[in-house]
Amino acid sequence: MLMMQVERPRVALNAQLLRINEGYRSAGIARYIFHLLRELSAAANDFQLDVFATEPLAPSFFPDATIHTTRLPVHKPLARILWEQTFFAFELLQKNYALHHSLAYVSPLLNRTRSIVTLYDLSFFLYPEYLPPFQRLYLKWGARLSTRRAERVIAISSSTKRDAMRLLKIDANKIDVALPGVDPIFFQSIDENALAAFRREKRLPEHFALFLGTREPRKNIPALIRAFALAKRHVHSPHHLVLAGGRGWMDQEIARALDETQLTNEVIMPGFVPHHELPLWYRAADAFVYPSQYEGFGMPALEALASGTPVITSNVSAMPEAVGDAAILIDPKSPEQIADALVRVLHDEALRQEMKTRGLAHARQFTWARTAHATAQSYRLALGSEHSLSVSSPTTA
């Protein structure tokens, strides 16, 4: 009997931004990469996956994938650029990869392997003043050249896809959308006793509105502080404002807004929140407020919905896509609109319950398995007709 032995196409994945240990670098892009890779082996089982990462990873992290650990200190931007433009490029030239997937903006420019590039947002085009000059130049130059040469481009939202079409001049038919999923930990129930103990441990008030994100200009935190002050003037309220997240850059305006509004005693800044604590922070809050000026997707808003917490967020970029009709949308440039939404949500129990029901139903649509299936389909499109699995010589059984 003749058996046909098939050989799966090999895909090299540049996952240097993946972080397993918790820290501020383990959020955002790192979290997307982590959950995608956890599901990708099953979704792309017609491919052989080689993952290139910074940290030593146990095989159980990404079943059926081959893990390559990088020896350079690629957590430093210059070292990472050196690695991806030289060492990784050489690896692609030496090995017989059918495809390589750059999981963050830029691929090796000196290579002949077919490529896919993932784009999370294009803030380095839209808000260049918020990035160091070299990083801004590398991302602009690298993303433009990498996406031009790529077989496919993956955007994490339709909003990012539109930005890529406009700013990078990429044809719509070349861009695939792979929406993020929601970590199942956010759907788990937490009883009131556990929440009360958590509030005591963190010295949190019983009633508060929560913001979560790095303290950087486009998160629009000064406008939120001013809006909270307006809301307190309109309605006497026991609520505090909790601004959780690590310190970023150019955050001097936050201190000015606190001085201007005289809310220092009613605004709490607990610092970075590790991922495993996030469900408790969301669930302990009466509302989650995220008035960002720009996001590639807006994961914190979706995580809050999955936690059953009412959400107020911006009506710009990808936020409407992330929350659907389950949140109250506001103009991030209008403290008055933010204040009005805060008053409505914080002081209307029936509205909060209605928003909780809608939010949970909306969040359940977002799974990492769906993200992985969309990514695997991009691989198949990139290889086209060549992806009828290569067949070796027949063997006799």
Q: Which tens digit of pLDDT belongs to each residue from 333-367?
A: 999 999 999 999 999 999 999 999 999 999 999 99
> Residue 203 pLDDT > 80, yes or no?
yes
Statement to judge: residues 82 and 175 lie in one domain? yes
Give me the CATH number covering residue 242.
Answer: 3.40.50.2000
Identify the residue whose tokens are 């090299």.
Answer: 12
Higher pLDDT, 24 or 88: 88
Statement to judge: residues 76 and 213 lie in one domain? no
Rounded distance between C-alpha atoms, residue 228 and residue 335, angstroms: 8
Confidence of residue 393 (pLDDT cuts 50, 70, 90): very low
Statement to judge: residues 226 and 345 lie in one domain? yes
Statement to judge: residues 193 and 325 lie in one domain? yes
Give per-residue pLDDT as tens, 36-81. Answer: 999 999 999 999 999 998 877 777 778 788 888 887 777 788 888 8
Rounded distance between C-alpha atoms, residue 21 and residue 34, angstroms: 11
Statement to judge: residues 188 and 91 lie in one domain? no
Q: For strand 240-244 and strand 208-212, is the pairing parallel, antiparallel, or unpaired?
A: parallel
Statement to judge: residues 221 and 75 lie in one domain? no
Rounded distance between C-alpha atoms, residue 321 and residue 315, angstroms: 9
Statement to judge: residues 40 and 150 lie in one domain? yes
User: Residue 92 sits in which domain range?
Assistant: 2-181+367-396
Statement to judge: residues 193 and 324 lie in one domain? yes
Rounded distance between C-alpha atoms, residue 55 and residue 15, angstroms: 10
- pTM for this predicted structure: 0.92
**Contact 164/152 with Cβ under 8 angstroms?**
no
Statement to judge: residues 55 and 189 lie in one domain? no
Statement to judge: residues 130 and 229 lie in one domain? no
Calculate mean pLDDT across residues 147-172: 98
Statement to judge: residues 176 and 219 lie in one domain? no
Strand partners, 208: 240
Higher pLDDT, 131 or 254: 254
> Residue 27 pLDDT > 50, yes or no?
yes
Rounded distance between C-alpha atoms, residue 85 and residue 79, angstroms: 10
- As for how many domains the chain has, the answer is 2
Statement to judge: residues 25 and 59 lie in one domain? yes
